[in-house]
A and B are shown apart, each in its own frame.
Chain A
């Protein structure tokens, strides 16, 4: 069998060759058999239920006593303020978590990929947050954010900043800052609530390990001789990162970005458990952490509005789907995936 990777080949052409689509081949009908097992399960447990949800979303009333109302639930969602508020919270939360999680994940994965001493220990440590069940870690973080005795305020005071009330502070971050300095700022400039920022910090902490693991796997998949070749060409570490790591890691990065966006837009567990650990109402304080999924959950179990909750869930799914399509169209093309 012939050797396929020639170390003499320039890096760039390698990149293109490795990531080129499989357009050269003829149609392989056998592919349907390959995807059949996965689709049988996913079809039964993840696709069929969506049709049920669509049906429910056009009804109102109690379980087993549904009354058909057409698109009323959708109209109600789109015409009321609560849905749009929740949408703003959802996107604020996604913007405050995803970029940081991905950047930190890549950063630490790259550091770990260098042959540092004790990397085995580090790898366990970075992964720990993702391992501990959220019930446990939420208790710990409620303590970190405790206004009186918590670690977060201890640090703020040490660096000479005003302590915050974190998880119980419904005011926007810029509102709090402006208040402290007796400035007046317009309502639209209040920014996300301090409580939402606190939950985001918790979320970044928890998800970082997940990204580290995936990036590590991606980095490990990059053939070492590509680095070797680039180094022979006189590349410094920064150039190596820029011209070898970044392009060859593109499929992994793309994956992480898509998955993180999907995950953060329907984030629920982290908010729910933090709310509980801090003795807040769901999506509290005062609805300032109420993302669309939290809002949906509340409608589902506090209000028992099954139809309306399903409509919200499906609207959210459509928004995520649109964003994902956009990513595939533009990001995927740019990274030659």
Chain B
């Protein structure tokens, strides 16, 4: 590095201080700069990823956790390294999940992927397509380092990612999940004559009709990019499915999907709903008592709490509930990023699995929950969280709903664009640019094309 700078400096000085001798040959001055880039090539540099130490297996772990979460994660990593002498994990923040995806993709192309990386399942599906990650089934079954039968009973299935397009193998595991819940303003509900949050979508519409006073108070604010997750459980809770059972086509344009989209259309034509024009505007408006219901991630709970408190507690009584459902049992959308293990060598891959499995254990999970407000993989972690739940009753309430969890078809790479198609369909309906039928037909057509790899 120093050499590069020195060369540049010398060059700069040479140019600026060119002496005044008649017919001075400029050649020597002009030549060095070409040498600059090459000179540094030769300079002794150590590639951080390739340090084959004697016994210790070194692992690069790329994540998107920043600030408080990064500190907590680093503390966990330090604990792991201390308790596992043969393994040394280094965690690195690589920007948000989309930056992380770019970086991993470039690294795969360059043949230098990390050993582990956090990512959404549809991103991991792309890594599988590139043949860059390894299935974890064998490690999971391994009698020495794998999961026991009791472990698998304890861990919620939504934390173990099976990819249907790739032989239903497990390519990623999760140590955190959040879920989408309904936030409601209890005072406004009461004033409108309801003493508890709506249990069915009909009740939801009734509450909207009674409580909305547009334009000051509305029932629902939809993100301007649409809300594919919200739409997903609007379909599920009407007994519908997003995809056919064989995973060959999308089916969200059938009756349940159409009913959901028609309800959305009603919400907008009756002016019970508005579109958001700023990120997290629904959170803000909720804290100001301008919106009755919002649908959002439980990871947003600390933001809601702080916004409401900061706004001078205009909203006195509020809570969270499972989204309305016409099905007998509630259904909540459980989501979150997972960790994948990249193809390196047998030792590294195994050590990487050991690390993820450790993150899913009770103690690390409990630590992680406290820093992130996510849900832990194991039901038994609840015991270790007793104090935290006492301090955060809403979190405790939501933890009980993990059993109702379902996951979106995120294991298909096509789900990422499909979320956009659904979002656009919702926005088109909200703007009166398309009927629910047209919008859904269009979205399903595009989604199926993406699924077919077009």
Interface residues of A (CB under 8 A from B): 30, 33-34, 36-37, 40-41, 44, 61-65, 142-143, 145-148, 150, 165-168, 170-171, 275-282, 284-287, 298, 301-304
Contacts and interface: CB of A to CB of B under 8 A. Distances in A.
Given A34-B30, A279-B280, A301-B102, 6 more contacts: A147-B277, A276-B279, A280-B224, A281-B225, A284-B427, A302-B420
Given A65-B129, A301-B101, A302-B420, A277 B37 contact: no
Contact of A33 (B26, B37, B423, B431): B26
B413 interface: yes
Contacts of A143: 278
B126 A304 contact: yes
A241 B105 CA distance: 53
A37 B34 contact: yes
Contacts of B33: 36-37, 40
A40 B7 CA distance: 15
A61 B454 CA distance: 10
B257 interface: no
Contact of A146 (B126, B278, B417, B427): B278
Contact of A62 (B98, B126, B276, B420): B126
Greatest chain B CB density within 10 A among A41, A61, A279 is at A279
B333 interface: no
A54 B168 CA distance: 36
Interface SS, A side: loop
Contact of B105 (A33, A63, A170, A278): A63
A304 B224 CA distance: 24
Given A30-B26, A40-B34, A304-B413, A285 B224 contact: yes
Interface string B432-444: 0100000000000
B414 to A, nearest CB: 9
A286 B431 contact: yes
Contacts of B131: 62, 64-65
Contact of B130 (A64, A150, A279): A64
A162 to B, nearest CB: 15
Contact of A168 (B101, B129, B277, B433): B277
Contacts of A166: 277
B105 A286 contact: no
Range of interface residues on B (Cβ < 8 Å): 35 or more
B226 interface: yes
B424 A284 contact: yes
A30 B225 contact: no
Nearest to B101: A301
B278 A278 contact: yes
Given A33-B31, A278-B224, A302-B417, A286 B427 contact: yes
B275 interface: yes
A166 B224 CA distance: 12
Contacts of B37: 40-41, 44
A307 B68 CA distance: 39
Given A285-B224, A286-B431, A279 B279 contact: yes
A142 B277 CA distance: 7
Nearest to A40: B34
Contacts of B27: 30, 33
A280 B430 CA distance: 14
A266 B109 CA distance: 25
A166 to B, nearest CB: 7
A52 to B, nearest CB: 10
Nearest to A39: B34
A62 B131 CA distance: 9
Contact of A278 (B30, B34, B126, B277): B277
B277 A167 contact: yes
Contacts of A278: 224, 277-279
B223 interface: yes
A65 B130 contact: yes
Nearest to A142: B278
Contacts of A298: 420
Nearest to A64: B130
Contacts of B420: 281-282, 298, 302
Contacts of A142: 277-279
B278 A279 contact: yes
16 contacts: A37-B33, A40-B34, A64-B132, A148-B277, A168-B224, A171-B431, A277-B279, A279-B277, A279-B279, A280-B224, A280-B225, A282-B420, A284-B424, A285-B431, A302-B417, A302-B420
Most chain B CB neighbours (cut-off 10 Å) among A142, A143, A148: A148
B130 A62 contact: yes
B192 interface: no
A171 B432 CA distance: 11
B122 to A, nearest CB: 9
Contacts of B101: 301
A164 B98 CA distance: 32
Given A36-B30, A302-B416, A284 B108 contact: no
A277 B276 CA distance: 11
A44 B226 CA distance: 42
B379 to A, nearest CB: 35
Contacts of A165: 275, 277
A277 B450 CA distance: 27
B14 to A, nearest CB: 12
A168 B279 CA distance: 12
B327 interface: no
Contacts of B34: 36-37, 40
**Most chain B Cβ neighbours within 10 Å, of A36, A62, A148, A276:** A62
B428 interface: yes
A278 B276 CA distance: 8
B90 interface: no
B417 A284 contact: no
Nearest to B275: A168
Contacts of A44: 37
B225 A279 contact: yes
Nearest to B36: A37
B281 interface: yes
Contacts of B280: 279
A170 B424 CA distance: 11
B441 to A, nearest CB: 16
Contacts of A170: 427, 431, 433
Nearest to A138: B279
A44 B108 CA distance: 21
Contacts of A285: 224, 427, 431
A61 B433 CA distance: 34
Contacts of B31: 33, 36
A63 B36 contact: no
Contacts of B215: 148
A168 B194 CA distance: 33
A145 B126 contact: no
